[in-house]
């Protein structure tokens, strides 16, 4: 990423940075298993939609139970799969990263920017493949944060975000990667029919 791309990504992320800060403040103050305000904000921020009531109940109960620990992505992935039968690498990572902000979030844009691909939902080995992909993402971040590009991302975030000291270095990069999306190619228009 160029300096301009990094600065542009941070500018686009400002609203999300504010929402994330409010969410994390609330996370530290409430019982997330029952607090409707936290759940509403979390669902909006991470786009948690179209799940059964039992899924939400079990998800937030697990989040509350794991507060104050250092949850492993693999354990959370297994726990959510065990209670819901669903393969949820994205929402597992978001639960983990809420409790431990030094952990990466599994997101289509971040996966692409870190050269990772999500295992197919149809793949029978998807749980183990997702665990391996997440571990690889963690290694990618560790290497990137030590690179000149990674250090530039962090220093620009610190320069442009007044509350930067509240964010782990990985989270600073996460905000930038989430905004750094390849532009979609424009669809070619069908040629106009000539008047006969």
Residue 146 lies in a domain: yes
**Residue 195 above 80 pLDDT?**
no
Residue 192 lies in a domain: no
What are 81-101's pLDDT values in tens digits?
A: 999 999 999 999 999 999 999
Residue 194 lies in a domain: no
Confidence (pLDDT) at 196: 38
Residue 109 near residue 177 (C-beta atoms within 8 A): yes
Residue 141 near residue 73 (C-beta atoms within 8 A): no
Distance CA 156, CA 160 (A): 6
Residue 130 lies in a domain: yes
- Residue 42 has, within 13 A of its CA and on its CB side, a CA count of 23
Confidence (pLDDT) at 182: 56
Q: Domain range for residue 140?
A: 3-179
Phi-psi region of 48 (alpha: psi -120 to 50; beta: other; left: phi over 0): beta
Residue 152 near residue 6 (C-beta atoms within 8 A): yes
Structural domain total, the chain: 1
Q: What DSSP character marks residue 168?
A: -
Cβ neighbours, 10 Å, residue 145: 17
Residue 184 lies in a domain: no
Q: How far are the Cα atoms of 21, 29, 36, 40, 117 from residue 157, in angstroms, in the given order?
A: 15, 26, 31, 27, 27
Residue 126 lies in a domain: yes
Residue 35 lies in a domain: yes
The segment with the largest mean pLDDT, out of 70-84, 114-128, 168-182, is 70-84
Residue 139 lies in a domain: yes
- Rounded to an integer, the average pLDDT of 46-63 is 94
Going 51 to 53 to 58 to 64, the CA torsion angle's sign is positive
Residue 62 near residue 33 (C-beta atoms within 8 A): no
Confidence label for 186 from pLDDT (cuts 50, 70 and 90): very low
């Amino acid at each position: 990423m160029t300096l301009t791309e990094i600065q542009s990504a941070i500018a686009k992320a400002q609203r999300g940075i504010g929402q994330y800060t409010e969410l994390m403040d609330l996370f530290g103050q409430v019982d997330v298993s029952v607090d409707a305000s936290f759940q509403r904000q979390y669902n909006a921020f991470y786009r948690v939609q179209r799940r059964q009531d039992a899924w939400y109940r079990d998800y937030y109960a697990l989040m509350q139970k794991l507060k104050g620990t250092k949850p492993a992505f693999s354990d959370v992935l297994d726990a959510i799969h065990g209670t819901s039968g669903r393969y949820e690498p994205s929402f597992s990572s978001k639960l983990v990263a809420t409790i431990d902000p030094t952990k990466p979030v599994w997101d289509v844009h971040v996966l692409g920017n870190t050269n990772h691909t999500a295992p197919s939902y149809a793949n029978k080995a998807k749980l183990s493949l997702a665990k391996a992909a997440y571990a690889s993402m963690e290694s990618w971040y560790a290497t990137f944060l030590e690179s000149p590009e990674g250090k530039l991302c962090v220093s620009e975030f610190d320069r442009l975000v007044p509350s930067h000291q509240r964010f782990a270095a990985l989270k600073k990069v996460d905000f930038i990667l989430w905004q750094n999306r390849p532009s979609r190619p424009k669809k070619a228009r069908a040629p106009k029919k000539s008047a006969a």
